[in-house]
Structures are given as structure tokens and as C-alpha cells.
A and B are shown apart, each in its own frame.
Chain A
Amino acid sequence: MSTLPFRRGERVNLSTSEVMIVGADPDGLEILAQMFAGFGVHTPRRCHDGQEAMTIVGERELNLIVVDSALGDMDGYSFISWLRRSAIAPNCHAPAILVTGHTKPSQIFKGRDAGASFVVRKPVPPLVMMQRIIWLLNDHRQFVSSPTYCGPDRRVRAMGPPVGMRGRRHDDLSIEVGAAKTPNLEQDEIDALFSPKAAAL
């Protein structure tokens, strides 16, 4: 909690946001809808299966999509994969949270590789969901569209391109380190960069 980029006293205004919640289980859907209504979302839009959700994606501009892994007519992974490749802008770039009960590593990778912005494990208490929303508000990841993947950049840390490769981005850094162009920092300036800061919640 202490490393989260928010304080509990901060304000968040979701009243005009368009949130779509998709899931086959009516009770699971009800719990999520109540949660988002509590967060201040005026009318969380509920969809009971993937087909209904696909129709809504084509009709309304959505700001956040929350998808259960079980949708009845398809699974949540396939829906997110479809969404990312649908080319229905701006919805195809909307943040998508995948909610799943079963979280073995292969399932998490599957969700990530489908293009989910986050995979959240059930049960999802409101505080955890709010944490994920705040993360999404601060998410500056770029979007990637390639023959094998479409979705938010999966590289959370910038490690540079693999050794021996040039990289595909204009801002990928070379492995060669050039000569310094600015004076070295003094020790107290270095120390200042590492000084711990309290994060009150």
C-alpha cells in the first residue's frame, strides 16, 4: 500500500465515466456493478455475455472495461483479444481489467498476452479494485500493435532491446554508452535522489 501513487484523501470523479462490466454470473456482475456505483460511476453498463459486450463496444465510447474470465459464450481472454484487434477506436485502446478466480501463472500470461491492462484475482474487494483504477489513471504505457500482439506495452520496465539487436522503437537506447555531456553529480545531489519520502495513506 505504501508505494501506491495515491492518498486516500485524493479525489476521483468517475461520475461521467462509461464503465462496462462483462460476466456470465449474474451475482458476480451485481457485486461489480454495486462496487462501481459506490465508486461514483453513474450507470455501470452490464453485459451478460461476450456477444452483448461486442455490440456495446460498437455502439458506445467506453472509458473502462471490466471482464470476467468466464463469459458463457466465450472466455474473457478471447473477448479482450477481439477488443484489441477490433479497430473500433477509441474503445480498442480503453483500459481493460480481466478478473479471474483461477490465477496460475499460465492464466496470468494468457491475460497479459490477450491485451489486458491488468489481471485481477478474485475475490476483488473494493479497495483492491480502486488501487487498480488508480494505477490505470497513472498508466503511461504506450500501445503496441503487431501481428502477434495488440495491447498496452507489456514491458513494465525499460530494459532496452535484447543484446545484439537494435530495437524497434525510435527511443530504444543503444547498449553503447557515450561520454558524459553534463558534469557529474555531487554526492549530496546523489543522496537527495535516494532520500526516502513518507507516503501517507
Chain B
Amino acid sequence: MSTARIFRVENRLAKIARTHGGKTIDEAVRSAEARVASVRDRCVSALAGKAEQLAAYAKAAKGERTGDNVNGLYDVSNAIFGVAGVYGLNALAEAACSLCDLVDRSRGGEEINRSAIDVHVDGIRLLATGETEGAESILAGLRRVRARFAPPT
């Protein structure tokens, strides 16, 4: 049996948070929502650039399962998912999340069709430029590709 040390630690965050003053939770959440909304334009306009970064990683990573380019592909799609999700760009968020999953499965040794990744990158590039009219059909296409080449495990 291994030796484990189990001990109490002071919850310093709780100690500070319970000092006099501060905001009500309602005020804090509303203020945070307003501040997050205030940087919306800046963050959303950067999405197209991120999509281009994604395309560059995908091009450089051709045939690779691991390495910096593949990790870059994962990290950038993870970043797109985070920003798109916060600002309600649901189609883009879903496409980016799907790409994260494909890349991660490929990194894990699963046989993933390269075209499935390329089609996702193309879809994300379109959605990141603000394409909203065709968003549903782009997503439907990506879902078909997923179902055909990489069904959810």
C-alpha cells in the first residue's frame, strides 16, 4: 500500500470572499455579462483569422497524426469553440467542437479519414466569415461526414 498524506488546507479564497463589501452574486454576474459583451466585436472579428490559422495547420499537418501542427489544429479549434460558444455562434461552435473531437481521436491512434478533417476546416472557414444563411446546411453536411467517416464513439 502506498503512503498517502491527507491534510486540511486553508480555504484562503473563501476567507477573502467573505470579507465585508463586494457585490451581490446577481450584481457580479450581470456586471461580468456586460463586460464580456463589451469585447464581443473584437473577439468575433478575430474568428476569421483563427479559421485561416486552422487551414494553415491542416495543410502543414497532412498525413501526420501527432506533432506541433496537429496540436495547433486542436488548440485553434478549441479556441474557436470557446469564443463562438460564448457569443451564441452555435453553428460555428458545433463545427469547431466536432473538429476537436476528430483531431483528438486521430491523435489517440484512431483511423480518421483526412478528408473529414479538411471538410471541417473548410466549413469552419465559411462559418467564421459570418456565413449565417447557409449555416444549417453546412452543419448538416459536416454531420453527414462525421456519420460516414467518424461516427461518435
Residues of A in contact with B (beta carbons under 8 Å apart): 6-17, 24-25, 27-28, 30-31, 34-40, 63-64, 68-70, 72, 90, 93-95, 99-102, 104, 122-127, 129-130, 133-134, 136-140, 142-148, 153, 168-169
A127–B28 Cα distance when bound, in Å, is: 9
A12 touching B25 by the CB < 8 A rule? Answer: yes
Give the residues in chain B near A70, CB-CB below 8 Å: 74-75, 78-79
Question: Chain B: interface residue count, which band?
Answer: 35 or more
Main secondary structure of the interface of B (DSSP, over half): helix
Give the residues in chain B near A38, CB-CB below 8 Å: 28-36
B13 touching A146 by the CB < 8 A rule? Answer: no
Q: Which one, B11, B17, B97, contacts A13 given CB within 8 A? A: B17
Main secondary structure of the interface of A (DSSP, over half): loop
Q: Which of B37-45, B124-132, B141-149 contacts A (4 or more CB under 8 A)?
A: B37-45
A172 nearest in chain B by CB position: B6
B81 contacts chain A at the CB level, 8 A cutoff: yes
A148 touching B35 by the CB < 8 A rule? Answer: no
A122 nearest in chain B by CB position: B82
Give the residues in chain B near A63, CB-CB below 8 Å: 12-13, 16
A137 touching B33 by the CB < 8 A rule? Answer: no
Give the residues in chain A near B96, CB-CB below 8 Å: 101
CB distance from B110 to the nearest CB of A (A): 12
Are A28 and B18 CB-contacts (below 8 A) given A35-B32, A124-B86? no
CB distance from B94 to the nearest CB of A (A): 11
A6–B34 Cα distance when bound, in Å, is: 22
A31–B50 Cα distance when bound, in Å, is: 16
A27 touching B79 by the CB < 8 A rule? Answer: yes
A100–B38 Cα distance when bound, in Å, is: 23
Give the residues in chain A near B11, CB-CB below 8 Å: 136-137, 139-140
Q: Which one, A37, A126, A140, contacts B33 given CB within 8 A? A: A126
Q: Which one, A30, A104, A137, A168, contacts B17 given CB within 8 A? A: A137
A15–B137 Cα distance when bound, in Å, is: 47
